[in-house]
Amino acid sequence: RKEVEQDPGPFNVPEGATVAFNCTYSNSASQSFFWYRQDCRKEPKLLMSVYSSGNEDGRFTAQLNRASQYISLLIRDSKLSDSATYLCAVNFDRGSTLGRLYFGRGTQLTVWP
C-alpha cells in the first residue's frame, strides 16, 4: 500500500462548480498535512496547511479526519485559473513536524468555461 494515495482524476468541471478531492494516508502517527498546487512544468506551490480542526482560505477548505486517515480539499466557485494538479503531502515523523514529506501522485483538475 502506498503511503499517500490520491485519485489521479482527471476532474473536469465547469466554472463556478464545487469540487472536492480526498487523500488517504497510511501512518496514523502523522503530524502535519498539506495541499500543494502544481502547474504544468512548474514546482509545487504550497496551497494550504491542514489544521486538526479544519481550515478555510477564501474558496478553499481543507479538512482532516484522523480516525479515517484522510484529508480533503474543497474548492468552491471554481475558476479557470484553478486548473492544475493538486498534491497532498504528509509528514509521518512521530513527535516532530520536521523531516521528509510523503507526497501523493496528485489529482488533476481542469476547469472549463
Partner 1 sequence: GAGVSQSPSNKVTEKGKDVELRCDPISGHTALYWYRQRLGQGLEFLIYFQGNSAPDKSGLPSDRFSAERTGESVSTLTIQRTQQEDSAVYLCASSSLGGRYNEQFFGPGTRLTVL
Interface residues with partner 1 (CB under 8 A)? Answer: 32, 34, 42-46, 49, 87, 89, 91, 97-106
Report the nearest approach of partner 1 to the CB of residue 46 (Å).
6
Residue nearer to partner 1 on the CB measure, 18 or 66: 66
Residue nearer to partner 1 on the CB measure, 25 or 106: 106
Residues with Cβ within 8 Å of residue 58, at least 6 apart in sequence: none
CB 21 within 8 A of CB 62: no
The strand pairing partners of 89, in sequence order, are 34, 103
The strand pairing partners of 90, in sequence order, are 33, 102
Residue nearer to partner 1 on the CB measure, 49 or 110: 49
